[in-house]
Amino acid sequence: MEISAAPSGTARSRTRRWMTGARRTQLFAYALVLPVVALIIGLVAYPFFFALWVAFTDRVVGGGGNWIGLDNFRYLAKTAIFTAAIRNTIIIVLATDILKFAIGLSLALLVTQRIPARGFFRSFLMLPWAMPAFVAFLTWRVLYQPIGGGLNLILTETGLYPHVIDWLGQRSTAMPSVIAASVWRGFPFWFISILAALQSIPKDLYEAARVDGANAWERFKMVTFPGIRHVVLITTLLSSIWTANAFEHVWLLTQGGPSDATMVFPVLAYFGMQTQRIGEAAAVSVAMLPIMAILVIIVTSAMQRDDD
């Protein structure tokens, strides 16, 4: 290619000037990051925004979908089961968080003492979390069975309680049963997180507190709890989001029943899919977002306060 005797402002020389070493490194960096960004956009951002959009349309499977504004939400608000889903989701999240925290903390405190077979307990206590979710919950379902289920067998055979209890089929026991199974499954995450946080607290803080005159409870308030607070906040956030989004624990045990006693958002969305009305189903999922957002804001602002 001829290079004409032109002044220095030719395109090629301009490009050469622009592509300095620093720029080359920058472009290379972008190129390396590009695949991941593409993945995130494709697998996370796009489905998210698409679902968000669909929630405001009347789309059905195979059909287009015209914008209908808030009609889906208005319809949902009229269904009794929607309000039940809101209530139940909040109850499950709160109850499981509190119980998992209590159990996780107690076990973590226990394991940091010099009890025999510490290492064994540490791994053993992780098992409920390590097994596949559906195995865990199907097993619980069998345990809860009225006829021949483990729990009822224990109650009746040992004479603790003479009658069979339909754990999953009665409104009064359905939610507690789901909560119990969910807590059993999820406490190891809390346990291991709190344990790690506990072990990072410097020992001499406890000694300083002892010298200052603090008893065990005061030491807990002054040293232990503040030391794990950050981790507890993050764990709460993650666990709440996971529990609110969890499908299998309710589905495998009660499918949201009996009646609407244990109906939660993910199960409701699934049922919505069965009617093929994608717009409504998406609206159910989107309806969860404000609640999740509030939760995230509360926790992150609590964490922020910590840092100041």
Partner 1 sequence: MDRKNTSPASLGRISRRGLLSSAAASGALIAGGGLLTRAGAQDFSGSKLTYWGGLIFADAANQLLVDTITAWGAANGVETEVVMINQNETVQKVSAAVEAGTMPDALDVGLDLLLLMSKQGVFVTLDDLYEKVGAAQGGWYEAVALATDTTSIAGGRTGLPFGVSGNLLLRRTDLLEEAGLVAPPETWDELVEQAALVTKSPVSGLGLALSNVGDGNVQCSIMQSFGGRIADDAGKKVTIKSEETRAYLAWLKDAWDKGVFPPGNATWDGAGDNQAYLSGQAAFIANTGSVGIAAQKDDPELFEVTGFSSLPAGPIGTISPITPQTRAIPATSGNQAAAMALLEFLSQPEFLSQYYSLAIYGPVLNDQKAFPAFDGSDAIHSGLLDLVENGTAPGWPDVFNTAFADAYSNFIVPKMAQRVVIDGWDAERAMNEAQEQAQAIYDKY
Partner 2 sequence: MASLELSAVEKAYGSQKVIHGVSIDIADGEFVALVGPSGCGKSTLLRMIAGLETITEGDISIGGRRVNDLSPKDRDIAMVFQSYALYPHKSVADNMGYSLKLQRRPKAEIAQRVLEAAEILDLVPLLKRRPSQLSGGQRQRVAMGRAIVRDPDVFLFDEPLSNLDAKLRVAMRTEIKELHHRLKTTTVYVTHDQIEAMTMADRIVVMNHGLVEQTGTPLDLYDNPVNLFVAGFLGSPAMNLLPGRVVSDGTASFDVAGGGRIPLAGGRLPPPGTGQTLGIRPEHLALVPSDTPNAIALRVTVTEPTGSDTMIAARLNGTEIVIFHKDRINVAPGEELHVLPQPDQIHFFDPQTGRRHT
Q: Which residues bind partner 2 (CB under 8 A)?
A: 202, 204-205, 207-214, 218, 222-223, 226-227, 229, 306
Query: Among the candidate windows 23-31, 170-178, 180-188, 286-294, which touches partner 1 by CB under 8 A?
Result: 170-178
Render 206-236 in DSSP notation, one character per residue.
HHHHHHHT--HHHHIIIIIHHHHHHHHHHHH
Is 128 a binder of partner 1 (CB under 8 A)? no
Q: Which residues contact 203 (CB under 8 A, 6 or more apart)?
A: none
- Residue 187 CB burial class (10 angstroms; 0-12, 13-18, ≥19): buried
Nearer Cβ to partner 1, position 172 or 200? 172
Closest CA to 247 of 134, 142, 171, 129: 134
Interface of this chain with partner 1, residues 146 to 165, rule: CB under 8 A: 146-148, 164
Q: Rounded to the nearest whole angstrom, what is the least distance from the CB of residue 84 to partner 1 in the complex?
A: 11
List the single partner that 213 binds among partner 1, partner 2, none, CB under 5 to 8 Å by kind.
partner 2
How far from chain centre, in Å, is Cα 34?
28
Interacting residue with partner 1 among 208, 273, 295, 302 (CB under 8 A): 273
Closer CB to partner 2, residue 212 or residue 301?
A: 212
Closest C-alpha among 142, 141, 162, 238 to residue 194: 238
In sequence order, the β-bridge partners of residue 81 are: none
Residues in contact with partner 1, counted by CB under 8 A, come to a total of: 36
The two three-digit tokens of residue 214, written as one number: 């603090």
Instruction: Supply the minimum distance, in Å, between the C-beta of residue 134 and partner 1.
Output: 13
Q: Which is nearer to partner 1, 84 or 103 (CB)?
A: 84
Part of the chain binding partner 1 (CB under 8 A), chosen from 127-135, 167-175, 199-207, 293-301: 167-175
Nearest to 289 by CA among 48, 42, 112: 48
Which CB, 24 or 221, lies closer to partner 2?
A: 221
Selected binder of partner 1 within 51, 53, 79, 153 (CB under 8 A) = 79
Nearest to 88 by CA among 257, 270, 213: 257
The verdict on 75 binding partner 1 (CB under 8 A) reads: yes
DSSP state of 41: I
Where on the chain is the footprint of partner 1 (CB under 8 A)? 60-63, 75, 78-81, 145-148, 164, 166, 168-171, 174, 253-261, 271, 273-278
